[in-house]
Amino acid sequence: MSLTSRHLLGLHGVPKEDIVKILDSAVSFKEVLDRPIKKVPTLQGKTIVNLFFESSTRTRISFELAQRRLSADIVNFAASTSSLSKGETFKDTARNIEAMKIDMVVVRHQSAGAPHFLSRIVDANIINAGDGRHEHPTQALLDIFTLREKFETLEGLHICIVGDILHSRVALSNIYGLKAMGVNVSVCGPATMIPREIEKLGVDVYHHIDDVIPKVDALNVLRIQLERQEGGLFPSLREYHNYFGVTRDRLDRADKPITILHPGPINRDVELSADVADSEHSVILQQVLNGVAVRMAVLYLLSQSKP
Amino acid sequence: MKPTILKNTHIIDPLQNLDKKADILIENGKITKIATQIQQTKDKTVVDLKGAVVAPGFIDMHVHLREPGYEHKATIATELASAVAGGFVGVACMPNTNPAIDDGSIVCYIKDQSEKTLNGLIDVYPIAAVTVNRDGKQITEMAELSEAGVVGFSDDGNPVGNAHIMRIALEYSKMFNKPIIQHAEEKSLTHDGVMNEGFVSTTLGLPGIPTIAEALMIQRDIMLTVYCGGKYHVAHLSTKLGLELIREAKRNGLPVTCEVTPHHFTLTEEEVRSFDTNTKMHPPLRTQEDVDAMKEGLSDGAIDVIATDHAPHSYDEKQVEYLYAPFGIVGLETAIGLSVSELVKPGVLTLAQMIEKFTVNPRRILNLPQATIKAGENACLTIFNPEEEWTVDIQRLKSKSKNSPFHGRKLFGKPVGVINNGRIMIG
Ligand SMILES: [Zn+2]
């Protein structure tokens, strides 16, 4: 069993069958995570490099755990610098890794397209763990997996992604993945944080959260990055919370419970009020566990691909 | 140069409305005879051009030679060889060197280096900075620079962002009748952008450069030109919006001109989907609508000039992540091929109109003497074969840098050679 591509660079253009394969395979790996001994020999003898040019504790830990559970050998390479500063270039780093006979590379980078560039210069399977504001495919897959667990079927669901869509790799990957699975997708955020012509991706755009809440089954609430306020894209955190914050009050006005996802880490009482984050309709902690299972599935399936 | 007969030429000279098949005799760097058949004699070299087009010598009015300061990207010697290979007899070079061309000594240095290259075959016309060190604060010594031989002023790479400085520059440069060549970009709208802003930038997660950043700057500058005069030329026009403003300004009789690059009438932002850093340039590749508008502008005369914005960058500099790659591509050696393939073959321009945009119009804008094909005139000629098909191979480019997005592209229209300043280079 393998996927159409030998890399996971993004969810753009990934066929539904591949997504289903990953989700189904993640179900089996999640069972492994429930066993007393949470380890399988699937990737024994394989070497994986986690190449993180941007710090992201959560994503790195999740990948690392997935790799350990699959018995792979791991090398972590963290660099806060890029080719902008002096020192080794991205290309040289990649070439060095290649020389060490690595099977897979998980890469996180500030520049959109960095994993694509990497896939052209090294032979290993490449997994995009977030490239700039472009894609973060494993995050979207774990979001979709979590939704499928909750709702059983994805077809016909309506999900709204809330927050800074412009700077979000999570939003784009979610849009591509969810649309492929037949989900209705909307986005909601301040007009300054909605990228141009996004409606051409087949999503509805909202600027008032109260307009969209009654229509959806789940909200995927994005983290507001505090530096965006400094960039002047919205006037204050206070105003953001008052107009876009997902609060108990707002959810109570809907006629059915609404599932809450968040890729973490949460700014409590900014994009999400504390009582909502901790409520029974929040699946935020399930997302964390599912992240490991989904990443195990991706690593396994890519390891099966032909070079 | 021995007396030379160019046999079987197809002369196209838009200045004289001339389009005929003939032989040309060149003696002591001058055209001495044009006739259907010129008798071969032992003392004359004969070059059979087999029907190739012979046109007045082409000028590329937007070239980055990189010397002094960035010799790892290119040198005057390498890029003039590239210009010859591309069919140009002259280039105007932009002042974003290090140091910038902002005083007479650098103009002299560039002229000296150029004259030493290829025995002075190529004319190099320096463009000086509008402001000292191109930092937008204080205009350069334009009178002295004009005397040193610069043909215009530009802070290219940067716009002249401050409206007051632009006003001063337009007013002051009027005294020498030299154009201010604007890299039209409202920086406060583009900040960290790397590609055209729109649907494609949205799907690629790359920061965008909106079309209005170009149009707003053109709009402002046209208003300044109305108010205080001066000659205003827009470098590398890329947007339909900007073009409409220029067309309107021309209709109102303003001294406003513009140029377009071959990549902006050939490629769209869709190319960026590959994340190939050779698709990263300033201004960015735009939409199909903009590309169509560029062709329309060329066809109706709103766009005066085809210029390449030849911008060499070393291999290593481009082999980086998209966000960090420098802007620009080389263009001298693909300009004729792209123009014939994209403009002449599909009927956007006639050959004569294309030639006009490579020689008559840039010479007019830069106040250079016109080249014309007539007995008694200096032989200043570009020879190319519009019917020859060839494939771009970046390894065979003469430019020191190979940063072209056109590698592997099949083109019609191949430069055959140039003749200028009593020198001949064919094949
Ligand atoms: Zn420029």
- pLDDT, mean of residues B80-90: 98
What's phi and psi for B33, nearest 5 deg? -160, 140
B404 and B296 together in one domain: no
Using a CB-CB cut-off of 8 Å, the residues of chain A touching B206 are 112-113, 132-134
B157 backbone φψ class: left, alpha, beta (φ>0; ψ -120 to 50): left
What does the mean pLDDT of chain B come to? 97
Cα distance from N-terminal residue to C-terminal residue, chain B = 16
- Mutation pick from B191, B280, B289, B321 vs chain A, by most beta carbons of A within 10 Å, is B321
Alpha-carbon span B266 to A290, nearest angstrom = 47
Within-domain flag for B175: yes
Q: What digits encode the pLDDT tens for the residues B98-154?
A: 999 999 999 999 999 999 999 999 999 999 999 999 999 999 999 999 999 999 999
Q: The domain A16-135+288-303 belongs to what CATH superfamily?
A: Aspartate/ornithine carbamoyltransferase (3.40.50.1370)
Q: Cβ neighbours of residue A153 under 8 Å, at least 6 residues apart?
A: none
What is the reported pLDDT for A85? 52
Residue B88 lies in a domain: yes
| Residues A152-196: tens digit of each pLDDT | 999 999 999 999 999 999 999 999 999 999 999 999 999 999 999
> From CA B414, how far away is CA B338, in angstroms rounded?
10
Is this structure's pTM higher than 0.90?
A: yes
CA angle (B420, B424, B427) in 5-degree steps: 125
Both structure tokens of B191: 């900040």
Q: Does B343 lie in the same domain as B310?
A: yes
Residue type, B119: N
Residue of A nearest to B326 (CA): A84
Q: Could you tell me if B91 and B206 lie in one domain? A: yes
Note whether B321 contacts A111, CB cutoff 8 Å: yes
Mutation site for A-interface testing, chosen from B194, B206, B209, B323 by largest number of A Cβ within 10 Å: B323
Its domain, for residue B97, covers 56-365
Which residues of chain A are within 8 Å of residue B199 when distances are taken between CB atoms? 196-197, 200
**What spacing in Å lies between the alpha carbon of B412 and ligand 1's midpoint?**
27
Three-class secondary structure of residue B257 per DSSP: strand
B254 and B399 fall within a common domain: no
How do residues A213-242 score in pLDDT, each as one tens digit?
999 999 999 999 877 777 788 999 999 999
**How many separate domains does chain B show?**
2
Q: Do B301 and B401 share a domain, yes or no?
A: no
DSSP B117-162: GGGG-SEEEE-B-SBGGGSSSSB--HHHHHHHT---B--TTS----
CB A12 within 8 A of CB A176: yes
* B419 within domain boundaries: yes
Q: Are residues B154 and B249 in the same domain?
A: yes
| Residue in B with minimal Cα distance to A131 | B205
Same domain, B224 and B347: yes
Q: Return the pLDDT at A96.
A: 86
Number of Cβ pairs < 8 A linking chain A and chain B: 69
CATH number at residue B239: 3.20.20.140
Please report the DSSP string for B330-385 in residue order: --GGGHHHHHIIIIITTTSS-HHHHHIIIIIHHHHHTTPPPP--STTSB--EEEEE
| Positions of B marked active-site | 309
Q: Are residues B151 and B179 in the same domain?
A: yes
Partner residue facing B275 (CB), from A82, A90, A113:
A113
- DSSP conformation letters of A123-154: -SEEEEEEETTTB-HHHHHHHHHHHHHHHS--
Residue B294 and residue B412 share a domain:
no
Q: Is A269 helix (H, G, I), strand (E, B) or coil?
A: coil
Q: Cβ contacts (< 8 Å) between A197 and chain B: which residues? A: 198-199, 202
In this predicted complex, what is the ipTM? 0.91
| Nearest beta carbon to residue B203 from set A12, A110, A111 | A12
Residue B53 in tokens: 């087009």
What are the structure tokens assigned to A99, written together? 């020389």
Determine, yes or no, domain membership for B370: no
Q: Does A95 touch chain B (CB under 8 A)?
A: no
Neighbours of A30 (CB within 10 A): 18
Res. A82 pLDDT band, cuts 50 70 90: very low
* CATH of residue B46: 2.30.40.10
Task: Give the C-alpha separation, B426 to B38, whole Å.
Answer: 19
Kindly report, residue by residue over A11-21, the tens digit of the pLDDT. 999 999 999 99
Confirm if B333 and B291 have CB atoms less than 8 A apart: no
Sign of CA dihedral B189, B192, B194, B200: negative
Distance (Å, whole) CA A218 – CA A65: 28
Residue A80: per-residue pLDDT: 63
Of A109, A133, A195, the CB nearest to B321: A109
Same domain for B392 and B244, yes or no, is no
Contacts of B274 in chain A (CB under 8 A): 116
Whole-angstrom distance, CA of residue B148 vs CA of residue B171: 20
Picking from B327, B342, B365, the residue at the C-terminal end of a domain is B365
Strands B423-426 and B410-420: antiparallel
Same domain, B220 and B233: yes
Q: How is chain A split into domains, by residue range?
A: 16-135+288-303, 137-284
As a whole number of Å, the end-to-end CA separation of chain A is: 14
**Overall average pLDDT of the A264-275 stretch:** 92
Q: Which of B365, B385, B413 is the last residue of a domain?
A: B365
In a domain, B111, yes or no: yes
Express as a percent the part of chain B with pLDDT over 90.
99
Query: Is A83–B320 a contact, with Cβ atoms under 8 angstroms apart?
Result: yes
Question: How far apart are the CA of B99 and the centre of ligand 1, in A?
Answer: 17
The stretch B188-203 carries a mean pLDDT of 96
| B199 and B319 share one domain | yes
Contacts of A111 in chain B (CB under 8 A): 321-324
- Domain A137-284: CATH class, spelled out: alpha beta
pLDDT of residue A86: 54
pLDDT at B208 over 50: yes
Residue B52 pLDDT more than 80? yes
Of B316, B342, B365, the one marking the end of a domain is B365
